[in-house]
Amino acid sequence: MPPKRFLFGPGPTQVEPSVYQAMTQPLVGYLDPYFFEVAADVRRLLQSAFGTKNDLTLAISGTGSSGMETAVTNFVEPGEKLLVFSAGFFADRIAEMGRRHRADVIKIDKPWGETFSGAEARAAIEREKPAVVAFVHAETSTGALQDPKEIAAAAHSSGALVIADCVTSLGGAPIDVDENDIDIAYSCTQKGLSCPPGLSPFTVSPRAVEQLNARATPNEVWYFDLKLLRDYYDGRKYHHTAPISTFYALQEGLRSIEREGFHQRWKRHAEAHAQFVGGVERLGLSMHVAAGQRIPTLNTVRVPENVDDVKVRTRLLDDEGIEIAGGFGPLAGKIFRIGVMGPLATPDNVNFFIGALSGALS
Amino acid sequence: MPPKRFLFGPGPTQVEPSVYQAMTQPLVGYLDPYFFEVAADVRRLLQSAFGTKNDLTLAISGTGSSGMETAVTNFVEPGEKLLVFSAGFFADRIAEMGRRHRADVIKIDKPWGETFSGAEARAAIEREKPAVVAFVHAETSTGALQDPKEIAAAAHSSGALVIADCVTSLGGAPIDVDENDIDIAYSCTQKGLSCPPGLSPFTVSPRAVEQLNARATPNEVWYFDLKLLRDYYDGRKYHHTAPISTFYALQEGLRSIEREGFHQRWKRHAEAHAQFVGGVERLGLSMHVAAGQRIPTLNTVRVPENVDDVKVRTRLLDDEGIEIAGGFGPLAGKIFRIGVMGPLATPDNVNFFIGALSGALS
């Protein structure tokens, strides 16, 4: 039996009992009409979560990182220039995947925790003239939320496609894929959507679909080939055996969000975030990211001087069963990463957490 | 609510209630010591299922097809010669993945339903001198079971690595990875292991590990990079967020097999297969694959002349809730593909199925 944890880390986060129960529904075959009903319902609900009318909206049969691989391998051809705006670990990973797929990768770096201004984005894009621009909407390693709008506008003026990593934002904050004019966005199921990990929500704009159709070289990775995946989900032509039970969970998780209301959910998370920030500041702690640039679902709190972050995290886990995460890379030992998502984003749970943190620090 | 099906197709197959229930256990984090206990238990049990002592035995975070992609992308470098023995759809897919990863692919073809003799394998390997040899142990598209022993021996005499696709055999038939001297084997969770789809069991011989360590070019696919996956499962260094709930299911499914006994399970499947063949032959039907070369868990039965296979399959589904599959490619309309696996591989269930098939044919 697994230990009972309060998952206040960056993910996986707490899952509603109805979502766990959905996985006990009996399997059907991968070409069963019932499965395609589930997949169609998941598509409709993901469109609401992403804020898009994109037809090509689906769930990739892998975890969030497989969505990143799908984005890079389908939309960055070997030799093409990929410009990555990086101020954290996950943006660096996009660059690493681009290099492995033999793209000409240009990485623009800022300190971990900062974001890029419209002017910075525009200058880099006009100078480099990339085929594809990638950025991380909500950088899990730092807690910073990047405004997509001006990056996308500059990229499109320059004829580039735009990839947005939304692994930590989907479900917990609006992404507005259509309004922000993002071409390719991907996420995971185990953070803002409060489901178990195992699928990667993915959406593609009509502009990017055109480029996909016109692609000169075959995709190197058969498993993540969006043309074959489209033939499967739209044309019912066998590709792979989708993880049916995980689809049941995702459908129920998304339906539960729909029952609450997507906008109501985002508002609840924003309120929990404000309460959290007020609470830690009353403890004398400070947030790592500047106000106005923070991810509402994933808070990064500076470790006070002379405090050992590992000791604090161990006390939280041992005494209260609370899981949080530390920083890594340049932020190792310097921040706590604390997720307040899904069922945990309520006034009572935030109070419970702030009390526990206060105790662990004392 | 999904419809209740008897899954007598090639997979997904019937799942035990205890395996569904395992997925309702609460999630823990991807670095939680409890998760690594689960992963270690899964490794131990997969070693028994594969018949190996290989240290590098794990579950890839994708479906069975992702295991194929992992095998090709880690062990076939661009420009290397990959020899594929193909008498079916899934061997053709290995060749397709090899071409996409820029291997020099040589495919040796035989009619769908046949297997390769040791002499045929040796002649091709000695002529082509490939770096890697691949074959399908149990070809789901045809029902044929390939003897691995002589292919592996010929490949090793020639200094090549051996990849075996065990998607349909693992759990339902012995594979004897060590005794057969197979270097890389992969499978799925939703056929012979009677679990939901979503993970790909994978094992690597010490000889193949050495080649992996000495690889000249980086793996193109970060998500399936076995070096990074080894650092995660052995070194607890974050790579991706594993699908925790699906691991719980796989652990429980494997434990349930261990409780029955691996050898007892293989014997039960062999007996159910013999009973099935006797039953369909008494109905005047004939098997597609020659005796002695048949997969015990996936039977291919010839569609009689003047019988419309779609009508038969529709009647089985509508009248009895029984799912079976048809043939495809050169076998479209010519065979039924009938899985008798896991909880369905019992005398009563085989009788029930034969009775239903008899009714649907009349």
Answer whether residue A1 shows pLDDT above 90. Answer: no
Choosing among A27, A191, A229, A238, which should be mutated to test the B contact, i.e. which has the most B CBs within 10 A?
A27
**Model confidence band, residue B13 (pLDDT cutoffs 50, 70, 90):** very high
What are the tens digits of pLDDT across the range A164-222? Answer: 999 999 999 999 999 999 999 999 999 999 999 999 999 999 999 999 999 988 899 99
Complex-level ipTM: 0.97
What is the rounded CA–CA span in Å between residue A337 and residue A309?
A: 11
A36 CB-side CA count, 13 A = 13
* A81 sits in which H/E element: strand A81-86
Q: Do A61 and B61 touch (CB under 8 A)?
A: no
Return the residue of B nearest to A252 by Cα: B1
Q: Do A245 and B64 touch (CB under 8 A)?
A: no
Question: If you compute the radius of gyration of chain A from its CA atoms, what whole number of angstroms results?
Answer: 20
Q: Do A26 and B9 touch (CB under 8 A)?
A: no
Mean pLDDT, chain A, as a whole number? 97
A55 CB-side CA count, 13 A = 11
| Distances B75 to B79, B107, B179 between C-alpha atoms, Å | 12, 17, 21
* Residue B317 CA from chain centroid, whole number: 25
Give the SS3 label for residue B180: helix
Q: How many helices (H) and strands (E) does chain A have?
A: 13, 14
Q: Is the dihedral of CA A175, A181, A187, A193 positive or negative?
A: positive
What is the rounded CA–CA span in Å between residue A193 and residue A49?
A: 9
**Model confidence band, residue A358 (pLDDT cutoffs 50, 70, 90):** very high
Average pLDDT estimate for A324-345: 96
Lookup result for tokens 């580039």 = A160
Query: What's the pLDDT score for residue B317?
Result: 94
Domains and CATH numbers, chain A: 6-11+262-361 (3.90.1150.10), 17-258 (3.40.640.10)
Query: What's the pLDDT score for residue B21?
Result: 97
B123: left (phi over 0), alpha (psi -120 to 50) or beta: alpha
Query: What's the pLDDT score for residue A345?
Result: 98
Helix axis angle for A347-361 and A262-282, nearest 10°, is 30
Query: What's the pLDDT score for residue B1?
Result: 86
A232 CB-side CA count, 13 A = 22
Query: What's the pLDDT score for residue A240?
Result: 97
B220 with A172: CB under 8 angstroms? no
- Residue pairs spanning A and B at CB distance below 8 A: 207
What are the tens digits of pLDDT across the range B236-279? Answer: 999 999 999 999 999 999 999 999 999 999 999 999 999 999 99
Q: How many helices (H) and strands (E) does chain B have?
A: 13, 14
Q: Is the preceding peptide bond at A111 cis, omega within 30 degrees of 0?
A: no
What are the tens digits of pLDDT across the range B187-239? Answer: 999 999 999 999 999 999 999 999 999 998 889 999 999 999 999 999 999 99
How close, in Å, is residue A64 to chain B by CA atoms? 8
Answer whether residue B166 shows pLDDT above 90. Answer: yes
What are the tens digits of pLDDT across the range B285-307? Answer: 999 999 999 999 999 999 999 99
Chain A hits for B242, CB-CB cut-off 8 Å, are: 63, 197
Residue among B175, B169, B186 nearest B149 (CA):
B175
Query: What's the pLDDT score for residue B4?
Result: 87
Residue among B168, B148, B145, B160 nearest B68 (CA):
B168
- Say what the pTM is: 0.97
